[in-house]
């Protein structure tokens, strides 16, 4: 019985994950990388580095949206850094959203 209480307490604590906060974003050029996503091939020439706190990495997230486009290639380096690949041709000022698997999100504007 005490094991059930401990497991419940651990679950309750994990659901109190703080919402993510984006503190800084930077875009860096990389050697072009082509990835196939379904029937579509996308070539990426930049990586978007997002620094902040509260990123929740699971098998299904976090997700990075650049405007209405979702990056199919996102890597959570640690709880304070996410890298997302940016496709060739994406230019201008865009709202970037990080969406954790628990539904919490944060936004920042980035110039591409």
Per-residue pLDDT of the chain (112 residues; tens, 9 = 90+): 444 333 333 333 344 567 788 888 888 888 888 888 788 888 989 999 999 998 887 777 789 999 988 988 888 888 789 999 988 888 999 999 999 888 889 999 999 8
Please state the domain count of the chain: 1
pLDDT of residue 17: 60
101 is a domain residue: yes
1 is a domain residue: no
> pTM of the entire structure?
0.73
DSSP output for the chain? -HHHHHHHHHHHHHTTPPPPEEEEEEEEEEEEEEEEETTEEEEEEEEEEEEEE----BTTB-EEEETTEEPS-EEEEETTEEEEEEETT--SEEEEEEE-TTS-EEEEEEE-
Identify the CATH number of the domain in which residue 26 sits: 2.60.40.10
38 is a domain residue: yes
pLDDT of residue 24: 84
């Amino acid at each position: 019985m005490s094991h059930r209480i401990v497991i419940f307490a651990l679950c309750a604590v994990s659901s109190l994950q703080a919402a993510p906060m984006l503190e800084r974003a930077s875009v860096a050029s990389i050697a072009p990388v082509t990835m196939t996503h379904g029937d579509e091939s996308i070539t990426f020439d930049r990586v978007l580095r997002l620094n902040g706190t509260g990123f929740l990495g699971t098998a299904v997230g976090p997700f990075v949206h650049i405007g209405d486009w979702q990056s199919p290639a996102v890597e959570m380096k640690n709880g304070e850094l996410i890298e997302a690949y940016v496709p060739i041709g994406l230019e201008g000022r865009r709202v970037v959203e990080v969406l954790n698997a628990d539904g919490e999100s944060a936004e920042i504007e980035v110039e591409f």
